[in-house]
Chain A
Amino acid sequence: MERSEIIDFTRLINALTLIGISCILLFAFVAQIALWELPCPLCLLQRIGLLAMAFGFLLNMHYQIRPTHYALSILAAIATGIAATRQIVIGALPPHGYGYPILGLHLYTWTALLCTATVIYTCILMCIPGQYQLTHYDRPVEAKSSVVRWVCHFAFSFLVLMLIGNVISVYLECGLMECHGDFLTYKI
């Protein structure tokens, strides 16, 4: 495998990871609309954290691949994991849980598992040899393959769409002031 192919392959994996994270956010949106499950403040923090985890992968997709980018995603995953673990601890005491369980686990428990998996997955991804290019790392670079390029652009658009969706959702739920209330109805 040539070096440019390894880089394109790693770029593709990063793009697919980004799409995966956006799909999870889309699923949370579907649950919010279909089950009328409005996110609580800790749930919102976990959503923000999930989107932040995508940032490092986004940089790898658009610039040279660097260990620093993976580190940013790992940091975001750890911060999100702390938020999710805190909610698990709160949910373990009566009244048990928040929202409907999915496949036997609450969404925040899934988030904690996902964050742990992301840390492990990113560490494995960092080990792919020949992917790093440590010069001219601050200039945007397009993938050589047109398919990978297309997937990268789609991944970015999907991520931005999810971010905009969440901005609208949080505004409708809480308005411009601090989030208070029962989280059963939209404030706006």
Chain B
Amino acid sequence: MFNQYLALFIFLLITTILAWSGKYKLSIALFILFLIGYLAALAPHFHTHYGIQF
């Protein structure tokens, strides 16, 4: 498995630079993809801890 946190940081960096360079619609589309990726990276943290299930 790759480092998903590094991937998310780089993805956000690219999206930010694209937004600043005038690629408006592309940057918003990438940001929505980023949010989906963020939730995908967050999901595994909701596993059982100390007998508590979420």
Q: Which residues of A contact B (CB under 8 A)?
A: 41-42, 44-45, 48-49, 51-52, 55, 58-59, 62-63, 68, 72, 75-76, 79, 82-83, 86, 89-90, 93-94, 137-140, 156, 159-160, 163-164, 166-167, 170-171, 174-179
Contact = CB atoms under 8 A, between A and B. Distances in A.
B16 A170 contact: no
A159 B4 CA distance: 21
Contacts of A62: 19-20
Contacts of A51: 9, 12
A178 B41 contact: no
Contacts of A82: 42
A138 B39 contact: no
The 8 A-B pairs of least Cβ separation, nearest first, read: A138-B24, A178-B1, A44-B5, A163-B13, A170-B6, A167-B9, A93-B50, A174-B3
Contacts of B3: 170-171, 174-179
B19 A59 contact: yes
A51 B46 CA distance: 22
B5 A52 contact: no
B12 to A, nearest CB: 6
Contact of A140 (B22, B38, B41): B22
Interface in B1-54: 1-6, 8-10, 12-13, 15-17, 19-20, 22, 24-25, 27-28, 31, 34-35, 38-39, 41-42, 45-46, 49-50, 52, 54
B2 A176 contact: yes
A42 B45 CA distance: 8
Nearest to A187: B3
Contacts of A179: 3, 5
A178 B8 contact: no
Contacts of B49: 90, 93
Given A55-B15, A86-B42, A178-B2, 10 more contacts: A41-B5, A59-B24, A59-B28, A62-B19, A62-B20, A79-B38, A79-B42, A170-B6, A178-B4, A179-B3
A58 B16 contact: yes
